[in-house]
Every structure is written in structure tokens, then in C-alpha cells.
Amino acid sequence: MKRPTKQPNRSSRKVITEIEEPRRINLTVNGEAMSLTFRSWRTLLEVLRDDLDLTGTKEGCDGGECGACTVLIDDEPRLACMTLAATLHGKKVLTIEGLLQNGNLHPLQRAFLEKGAVQCGYCTPGVILSAKSLLDRNPTPAEDDIKRALSGNLCRCTGYQKIIDAVMEAAEPKIVIA
């Protein structure tokens, strides 16, 4: 039986299951310290959705193209479908579920609703996390900054302008000197 050298497809994963030892890592997910055990080939997307039931992180292309699976790892946007969970020992992961504070929506989530930037909603968790990372670094972004920050997140519904408007809305108000 041949062992694959690249990212295994779903049929070859069965083979690896029989020969790979499970890995144990410690990490923080949405502020909660966790110790997780899983096969070394499993992606962060699989662990989040299947093991932790955090289904707000979406599976789109499963190939690094659409951005639907974007989460923040140590505050940086990363594609969960392209990230092996075993590489995250000691890291901090934030998913869309972690944005709620005491049951209240994050300002970005509120702005997306107010501006009509959510239609089917499939891209929305990834878009919002990319936008959060931008606003954490740059609280008053220009429209071009937003376009650049969201360039890896595809949306098939909104035409993007409402998304950009929502991120502008959630950004800190600019100081206008009269």
C-alpha cells in the first residue's frame, strides 16, 4: 500500500488512519484552553467542525481558493482547510463563534446586518474574521485597504459593495477637524 506524499484525499486518509499515531496538542479556541487528540493529517477545518461542533467555520472549496473557512490564528487570517491542526500547538484560534461577547454581537456583525451585507451567509464568517483582523491592525481603513484585506474571501451574492460599506461602518469614526 502506497503512502501519499501530498495532502491526502479522502480515500487515502483511510490508509493513514491505520498507520499514524494520534497527536495531542494544547491550544486555545475562542478563549478556552483545550487539549485535543487527533490524527496528524486532519485539518483545522475538520477538527473545528467535526470534533468541536464549531460549524460557523464553513467548508467551501476545501482547496484554499474561496476563503469561506477563514479563522484567525494568533490574530492573523488563515485558511482552516489548508492548516493541519497538528501544527497549532500553543496557538490561539478564533472562529466566528468567539466574536460574541456576553451574547452581544460584535460591531462588525451588527454592521453586516444593518448594511445588508449578508445574503446566503456562507462567506460571512470568513469575511468578518478577515475584516476583524484588518480593523485590529488599522481601525480607520480606506476602501482600498478593505478590498485588499478581503481579497481572499469570495462572495457570490452581495457584489461586495455592501460588505465594504459594513466594514467602513464598523471602523472607528474618523476624526474630522472643522
Q: Which residues bind ligand FES (CB under 6 A)?
A: 59-62, 64-69, 79, 81, 118-124, 155-158
Of the pair 66, 129, the CB lying nearest ligand FES is at: 66
Q: How far is the CB of 58 from ligand FES (least distance, A)?
A: 7
Of the pair 93, 123, the CB lying nearest ligand FES is at: 123
SS3 35: strand
Given a contact cutoff of 8 angstroms between Cβ atoms, the answer to whether 129 and 71 are in contact is yes
Of the pair 22, 121, the CB lying nearest ligand FES is at: 121
Closest CA to 99 of 111, 114, 82, 81: 111
Of the pair 59, 97, the CB lying nearest ligand FES is at: 59
Q: How far is the CB of 163 from ligand FES (least distance, A)?
A: 8
Buried-state track 110-148, b at ≥16 Cβ within 10 A, e below 16: ebbeebebbeeebbbbbbbbbbbbbbeeeeebeeebbee
Which amino acid appears at position 154 of this protein? L
Q: How far is the CB of 88 from ligand FES (least distance, A)?
A: 16
Q: Which burial class, exposed, middle or buried, applies to 23 when counting CB atoms under 10 A from its CB (0-12, 13-18, 19+)?
A: middle
Q: How far is the CB of 175 from ligand FES (least distance, A)?
A: 32
DSSP conformation class of 32? E
Q: How far is the CB of 159 from ligand FES (least distance, A)?
A: 9
Of the pair 25, 69, the CB lying nearest ligand FES is at: 69
